[in-house]
C-alpha cells in the first residue's frame, strides 16, 4: 500500500525574514561544516553539499555509508530546536544540517528510513536562503505521481509518518541559483531501552 500523497505540512515563511536572515548568517558562520565523500559503484565522490550532524549523546546516525561524528548543539541550534519542537509538538534529539553552496549542490533520491530513526516520529525540515524544490516520488513507482514542494526562506515542512515508508525525496540541482541554501532536518533517533 502507498499513501496517495506524502503526509506533509508546509508553513511558508514560518519564521519571519529578518530572523531567518540572522539564522542563515549565524549557522553559516558557527556550524562546523564538513565536505564528506561517498562511494558510489566503487568510486569516491565529494558529496555535492556540506553537512553536519548535531545530536544528543548516543544519537549516532549512519547514512550513505557514513558514520557521522556527533557535533554538540550550539546556542543557536538549541534555540531553533526548541522552536521547531514546539511547532511540531515533538521533542527532537538530532539534526542533520545541509549547506547547498549554490544551485550545483543537490541531494539524490532517498527516504529517511534508516533503522536508527523512530518511524513514528515526524521529520521537521527548516529551509533558509535560496528557494529550491524538494521532489517526492513513490517508492513503488507505478502507484502515484511525482510531486514537488517549493521551499523558501524560513519555510517549515513536516514530513509525517508513514511518508518515509512509501516515498522518497530529493533536491535536484538548479543551475541558475547562485545563492546558498541551508536545510535543517530535525529527527528522532531511537535510543536503546
Ligand X SMILES: O=C(O)CCC(=O)C(=O)O
- Are 65 and 160 within 8 A, CB to CB? no
User: Closest approach of Cβ 163 to ligand X, in Å?
Assistant: 11
Please give the helix or strand (H or E) that residue 26 lies within, else none: helix 17-30
CB nearer to ligand X: give 70 or 193. 70
Question: Cβ closer to ligand X: 112 or 192?
Answer: 112
**Chain residues in the site for ligand X (CB under 6 A):** 96, 98, 107, 112, 125, 134, 151, 169, 171, 183, 185
Taking CB atoms, the residue at the shortest distance from ligand X is 183
CA atoms of 82 and 54, how far apart (whole Å): 14
For residues 42 and 186, which CB has a smaller minimum distance to ligand X in the complex?
Answer: 186
- Taking the CB of residue 154, how many other CB atoms lie within 10 A of it? 22
The DSSP line for 149-173 is EEE-TT-EEEE-TTHHHHEEEEE--
Q: Are 171 and 103 contacting, i.e. CB atoms less than 8 angstroms apart?
A: no
Least spacing, CB of residue 98 vs ligand X, in Å: 5
Nearest distance from C-beta of residue 124 to ligand X, angstroms: 11
**Shortest approach of ligand X to residue 39 CB, angstroms?**
19
Amino acid at each position: 500500500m502507498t499513501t496517495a500523497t506524502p503526509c506533509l505540512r508546509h508553513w511558508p515563511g514560518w519564521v519571519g525574514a529578518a530572523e531567518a536572515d540572522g539564522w542563515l548568517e549565524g549557522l553559516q558562520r558557527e556550524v562546523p561544516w564538513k565536505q564528506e565523500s561517498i562511494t558510489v559503484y566503487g568510486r569516491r565522490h565529494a558529496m555535492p553539499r556540506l553537512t553536519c550532524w548535531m545530536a544528543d549523546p548516543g544519537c549516532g546516525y549512519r547514512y550513505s555509508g557514513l558514520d557521522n561524528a556527533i557535533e554538540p548543539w550550539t546556542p543557536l541550534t538549541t534555540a531553533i530546536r526548541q522552536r521547531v519542537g514546539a511547532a511540531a509538538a515533538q521533542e527532537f534529539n538530532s539534526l542533520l544540517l545541509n549547506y547547498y553552496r549554490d544551485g550545483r549542490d543537490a541531494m539524490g533520491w532517498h527516504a529517511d528510513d534508516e533503522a536508527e530513526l523512530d518511524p513514528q516520529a515526524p521529520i521537521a525540515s527548516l529551509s533558509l536562503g535560496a528557494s529550491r524544490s524538494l521532489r517526492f516520488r513513490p517508492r513503488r513507482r507505478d502507484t502515484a505521481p511525482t510531486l514537488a514542494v517549493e521551499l523558501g526562506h524560513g519555510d517549515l515542512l513536516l514530513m509525517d509518518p508513514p511518508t518515509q515508508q512509501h516515498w522518497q525525496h530529493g533536491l535536484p540541482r538548479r543551475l541558475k541559483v547562485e545563492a546558498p541554501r541551508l536545510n535543517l532536518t530535525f529527527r528522532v533517533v531511537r535510543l536503546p531501552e
